[in-house]
Amino acid sequence: MKALRIGIDASGIAGGKEATGLQRYTACLIKYLVVLAEAENIELFLYFARPVRPAAKQPGQLLASLMDDASVHWRTAPFERGWYRVFMGLAMHRDRLDLFHFPAPLMSGYCPVPSTVTFHDLAAASLSGPQTEKERRYLPAALDAGKRATTLIAVSQSAGQEVSRSLGRSDVQVILEGVDLAQFKPSPENVAEIKQRYGLERYILCVGTLQTRKNHLGLIQAFAQIADQAPHTLVIAGRDGSGAEAIRQYLEVHPGLRVQLIGYVEDALLPALYSGADALVLPSLWEGFGLPLIEAMACGTPVLTSNVSSLVEIGGDAVLLVDPQNIDDIARQLHKLLTDQALRAKLIEAGFVRARSMSWETTAKQTIDVYRRT
């Protein structure tokens, strides 16, 4: 039987970039598609808009490991200008692809083969508030991709409903993301080193880009209410986004708060950072999936998160839920999570079970099923 020839836009993991949730999705999906390639009779063509840098840090290490894999073919744009507009589509035609997968909602202008597009959220259409220029450009491109794609994947039921409402399409396939249990697991042997690196003792952790929708300000204000009842520092890990300026301004006006912004943390350090935290707190106003939830669970860290969007769905019975709009509720439940040992033990055990139920191999298998139906 002829192998199914699948193209994937892998530009986001070409190396030299800070790996966010989108890059991790792309990297992990490709990793497990390669694992399944022979059994599933598929052939992968990885497309890059710029030269590949396999020696770079995450996620370039994945690409380096695939260099000699016979089931993977590499296509790099001869020049970046005009690649997405025309030449990417010409390359698809030359490679005689059966289908092309865009892991983010950004499609090439010319796409001569059936296409699958993954949506992680459409928060830009659902939420108001300040946005970066990149965030403002995202929505028109995403809506265009959603209208032109042959099939659509959403990473949660919540995201799928959001996409269906915005695009008027009822054919969105929901495929949950996963967690790499080989990487994300309790790492007590590395906790002392991570605490020394960042000058920490006991801490509460929040992981995510400093965007307004992540509700970092609400979390900081809630932490301020209980700071005199707990010895912890609130540690926020993430690169700057639309909410960074407001957070820094707030901390300048309130210099006594034990809040530490540590910036972007590379993937290799995250398991130890999760493992050393007394709690992972993600009180977002909106999330398409929320990878830090299951990563923290897999590391044995109890989780507090919001009772909105995908977070309820992904957290299940393994998280403590709060109203993200209610500062008092966040503060009250956070204090409970830090002090109620029975609750902590219950959430930690449930978190291990929840994390084990979400694998990237399952994500890849379900994605291949979508390819075959496209």
pLDDT at 121: 83
- If one counts every other C-beta atom within 10 angstroms of the C-beta of residue 280, the result is 25
Is it the case that residue 212 has pLDDT exceeding 80? yes
CA-wise closest residue to 66 among 120, 26, 19:
26
Using N-to-C axis directions, what is the helix angle for 216-226 and 244-253, rounded to 10°? 30
pLDDT tens for 98-109 read: 999 999 999 999
pLDDT tens for 141-187 read: 899 999 999 999 999 999 999 999 999 999 999 999 999 999 999 99
pLDDT at 134: 62
- If one counts every other C-beta atom within 10 angstroms of the C-beta of residue 36, the result is 16
Matching fold, domains 4-178+359-373 and 188-356: yes
The top-level CATH class assigned to 4-178+359-373 is alpha beta
CATH architecture for segment(s) 188-356: 3-Layer(aba) Sandwich (3.40)
Gap between the Cα atoms of 170 and 260, Å rounded: 44
Q: Which pLDDT band holds residue 57 (cuts at 50, 70, 90)?
A: very low
Gap between the Cα atoms of 139 and 255, Å rounded: 36
pLDDT at 58: 45
- Residues in Cβ contact with 349 at an 8 Å cutoff, skipping those fewer than 6 apart: none
Q: Which residues pair with 281 in a beta bridge?
A: 304
Tell me the pTM. 0.90
User: What phi and psi values does residue 123 have, to the nearest 5 degrees?
Assistant: -60, -30
Question: What 8-state DSSP symbol labels residue 20?
Answer: -
Of 111-125, 129-143, 195-209, 320-334, the range with the lowest mean pLDDT is 129-143
- If one counts every other C-beta atom within 10 angstroms of the C-beta of residue 358, the result is 19
Please report, for the chain, the start and end positions of each structural domain, with discontinuous segments joined by +: 4-178+359-373, 188-356
Of 54-58, 150-154, 316-320, the range with the lowest mean pLDDT is 54-58
